[in-house]
Structure 1
Amino acid sequence: MIRFPHRPHVLVTAEELVAQLAFTVDDPTAPEGKRLTFGGPAGNIMEMLSTTMNFTYTYVRSPDRAWGLLQSDGTWTGMMGLITREEVEFTPAPFYLDITRSQWIDYSSFVMLGNYQILAARGRPEVDPWGFLLPLRPKVWVAVLTALLVVCAAILLLSFCLPTYMQEPRMKDTNTFNCVRVLLQEDIKRTKSRWWWERVMLGVWMLMMVVLTQSYVGNLMSLLAVRYIDQPYQRLEDVLDNSDVAIIVAPNTFIIKYIETATSGPLHELGKLVGTKRIAYNKFVELENSMETVVRAATHVIFDLDFNYVNLLPKSFSLTGRCDFYLSRSVYATTPLALVTQKNSFFLHRIDKLSYTLVESGLYDKWMKYSQPNFSMCKNPPRIITVTTILSLANFWGMFAVLGYGFTVAVMVLVLELVCGGARWGQKGQVAT
């Protein structure tokens, strides 16, 4: 184990994440009696390194409070600039693995995987007026109608196969239409058919319809208490298609360069919006305020690393007791994150070993998750909830619409029959005269 004998003083850098906030503590040896420090995984890593390697440290923050991007003149901004200019030794803050950065700094073993996801506001619980169609999937409706046609066709075909003197046209037609009446929950005409196979087929069909309709009725009554919560932005394309919604991203970070250089796909389309009003820039510490204002108002969504949401969502739940936000199912730019040091730094071997240990033991993941109470409450909020409330017209207007359309079509057919029938009788009367 590498351990300094004389306890040197080391300069390091870090910036705030949602799970890694900066604060000051009293320190008589520091200027003005205050010393900057960080909580969360970065603070824990620095304490472990300083204890095991026997050194003291001071945080130096970059002027732009960012991770850093490569400028046109070949210099870096943010923490990358401090490390490449050798103003600090390393950083305990996680960095995306990037081939351009690797030419200037050294990466440790990765400490976590990062994904970019969309965070948006959930809709309000709504009643689905067409919920009466949901107990049966479209394939089931098709299967039921197909079975009805098969049963009716079987009765007709088997009847036609009988000798002429044994056929009973009226009974044959009655049994065929009885199958339709059973499906529509109507009374059936009494059959006088002497053929046992017709009665067996009709009885089996009635049994099938009893099971189906009772299951349908039970599920329908349950669905009347269901409320649906809209979660419209599950993909980046969904956000891009809505020109009224702005997208919040972090400035001077890996994703900005990534979307500006992407040549295809949704990230390329997102890159086209850079410089327009649809892209808003927020630092990590500003995300909470944006989430509770513009994101809650559904005018903005956040497009950021998933581990930044680990604290945002639980904190909102702790304050309101509700899951008012959700994360998209689609993820983008999945890349390992690791700690970085100067090129050929003396600290790289020890930091690399510590990173490997933290991942294998699960400590880093635990520090990220347990930095906020209720960390798992709003990770996958349900899209469907049940309520106990009085039924209203909002629950049924879809059924009344279908009934109204049915009556309208029936009246139109009746009028058409009367008109056509009257014309036909008129023609017969003229011929007779």
Structure 2
Amino acid sequence: MARPLKEVLEDPDVYQDLLANPSTFRYSLVTPEDQAWGRKLPDGNWTGMVGQVFRQEADIALGPFAQSVERRQAVDYTQSFFFDGRTIIAGKGRPEIDPWSFMLPLQPPVWVALLVGLVVAWLSLVVMGHNPKGSSQLTSASHFMRASHLLFQHLRIILRQDVSMNMTRGREMVLMGGWVVVSVVVTCSYSGTLVSLLAVRHVPQPLQTIRDMLDATHITVVLEGVNTIVPVTLTKIKTGELKELNDLKYSGRIKIRSVVEAGLYPYWLDKSLPVYHNCRHSPSKITVREPLALDSFWGMLVVLIAGHLVALLVFCLELNAGSN
């Protein structure tokens, strides 16, 4: 049964068969001297493949061609057979270690819940305590000393230090025991997660949008050659980020190069073919096995040194207050 003409024309296998059979379809390939897609010259002529079709030196030009108003006035387009999204390519940074990764095992809500639990447990023991009989001044001083001592005991537990607190009341021992259980579970989970995080390296990817590229004043932008549609389109945009991108050429931050001429396209092609099975989007985090270096935990050392300095300052203030 004969197929409808429209169905035949829309079948890509028909064109494939025609091109593969030289007895039914003969053609010759003509390459433009400038090996360009084509742009309009001031005299109205065109360069590249568009120019060949425009001057009827070729019947058709194989795309994909980006469409523009000027090109549509010079040549006819077929229906679009795919849409290409324009993206920015940028070099990835080297794998880095986050020196503040010791804060990452616990999310902020967990830190807040731990602090709230510390305050609640401490206040519960303070409220359960009783004031000794005697003068009001002695009572207030004793109550304050007991509350301070209890607070430090809770902090010692969460830091996995020994506890030197004598409690005779059962309810106080139950509350302190509950805090010990919570502290042990949290600290064990923290230490296990921290070991895993120290083996993670972060690959920085600071450039994700056009705005990121515009704000990075140290970045030099390389565009396609002048015979392509991208630089021509950028010159016609009057507002927005794309206009700012085109204006970078006035500050020396933009260079127009031919991707093929610079050798980038063959280089990318050669590098991509051996690893065609790899994922297109490489991961931004990798894991490594290597001894820990100072770069891995200098953030913890900063906290440690700062804590010792504060303790030394408090100690000096206490000595000064005692001497007076």
Is 1:375 the counterpart of 2:276 in the alignment? yes
Q: How many corresponding residue pairs? A: 304
State the partner residue of 1:245: 219
Aligned mate of 1:221, from 184, 187, 195: 195
1:396-430 CA distances to partner (integer Å, 9 max, x unpaired)?
332222211211122122222322443xx3xxxxx
Contact 1:171 1:191 (8 Å CA) reproduced: no
State the partner residue of 1:236: 210
Instruction: Give distance in 2, aligned partners of 1:163 and 1:275.
Output: 78
Aligned mate of 2:260, from 279, 282, 285: 285
2:191 is matched by which residue type in structure 1?
Answer: V
TM-superposed CA distance for 1:94, in Å, is 0.5
Aligned mate of 1:94, from 39, 64, 68: 64
Instruction: Give distance in 1, aligned partners of 2:131 and 2:317.
Output: 39
Question: Greater relative contact order (Cα 8 A, min sep 6): structure 1 or 2?
Answer: 1
1:396-415 correspondence to structure 2 within 5 Å: 396-415=297-316
Aligned mate of 1:204, from 171, 178, 187: 178
Q: Percent identity?
A: 35
Instruction: Give distance in 2, aligned partners of 1:280 and 1:222.
Output: 43
Aligned mate of 2:106, from 136, 155, 168: 136
Is 1:384 the counterpart of 2:285 in the alignment? yes
State the partner residue of 1:58: 28
Instruction: Give distance in 2, aligned partners of 1:58 and 1:276.
Output: 45
TM-superposed CA distance for 1:376, in Å, is 4.5
Instruction: Give distance in 2, aligned partners of 1:58 and 1:124.
Output: 48
Contact 1:225 1:388 (8 Å CA) reproduced: yes
State the partner residue of 2:8: none
Is 1:316 the counterpart of 2:271 in the alignment? yes
TM-superposed CA distance for 1:217, in Å, is 0.5
Structure 2: runs of 5+ lacking an equivalent: 6-12, 134-138
Instruction: Give distance in 2, aligned partners of 1:60 and 1:149.
Output: 81
Structure 1: runs of 5+ lacking an equivalent: 3-43, 293-311, 318-371, 426-433
* Alpha-carbon RMSD: 3.5
1:220 is matched by which residue type in structure 2?
Answer: L
Contact 1:175 1:191 (8 Å CA) reproduced: no
TM-superposed CA distance for 1:110, in Å, is 2.5
Aligned mate of 2:128, from 155, 159, 162: 159
For 2:248, what is the secondary structure of its paired residue? Answer: coil
Contact 1:171 1:193 (8 Å CA) reproduced: no
TM-superposed CA distance for 1:88, in Å, is 1.8
2:285 is matched by which residue type in structure 1?
Answer: I
TM-superposed CA distance for 1:225, in Å, is 2.3
Name the structure where strand makes up a greater proportion of residues: 1
Residues 280 and 171 from structure 1, CA distance in 2 versus in 1: closer, same or farther, beyond 3 angstroms?
closer
Instruction: Give distance in 2, aligned partners of 1:173 and 1:118.
Output: 58
TM-superposed CA distance for 1:67, in Å, is 1.6
TM-superposed CA distance for 1:279, in Å, is 2.3
For 1:90, what is the secondary structure of its paired residue? Answer: coil
Instruction: Give distance in 2, aligned partners of 1:388 and 1:284.
Output: 38
Instruction: Give distance in 2, aligned partners of 1:52 and 1:387.
Output: 55
State the partner residue of 1:343: none
Instruction: Give distance in 2, aligned partners of 1:164 and 1:140.
Output: 37
Aligned mate of 2:296, from 357, 370, 395: 395
Contact 2:167 2:173 (8 Å CA) reproduced: no
Contact 1:174 1:191 (8 Å CA) reproduced: no
1:207 is matched by which residue type in structure 2?
Answer: V
Instruction: Give distance in 2, aligned partners of 1:109 and 1:172.
Output: 80
2:188 is matched by which residue type in structure 1?
Answer: Q
Aligned mate of 1:111, from 78, 81, 100: 81
1:266 is matched by which residue type in structure 2?
Answer: E
For 2:36, what is the secondary structure of its paired residue? Answer: coil
2:270 is matched by which residue type in structure 1?
Answer: K
Contact 1:171 1:192 (8 Å CA) reproduced: no
Contact 2:32 2:52 (8 Å CA) reproduced: yes
Residues 48 and 238 from structure 1, CA distance in 2 versus in 1: closer, same or farther, beyond 3 angstroms?
farther
Contact 2:50 2:61 (8 Å CA) reproduced: no
Residues 93 and 71 from structure 1, CA distance in 2 versus in 1: closer, same or farther, beyond 3 angstroms?
same
Instruction: Give distance in 1, aligned partners of 2:18 and 2:249.
Output: 40
State the partner residue of 2:136: none
Q: Normalization by structure 1: what TM-score?
A: 0.60
Instruction: Give distance in 2, aligned partners of 1:79 and 1:134.
Output: 56
2:295 is matched by which residue type in structure 1?
Answer: A
TM-superposed CA distance for 1:171, in Å, is 6.6
Contact 1:159 1:172 (8 Å CA) reproduced: no
Residues 171 and 240 from structure 1, CA distance in 2 versus in 1: closer, same or farther, beyond 3 angstroms?
closer
Contact 2:224 2:257 (8 Å CA) reproduced: yes
For 1:227, what is the secondary structure of its paired residue? Answer: strand
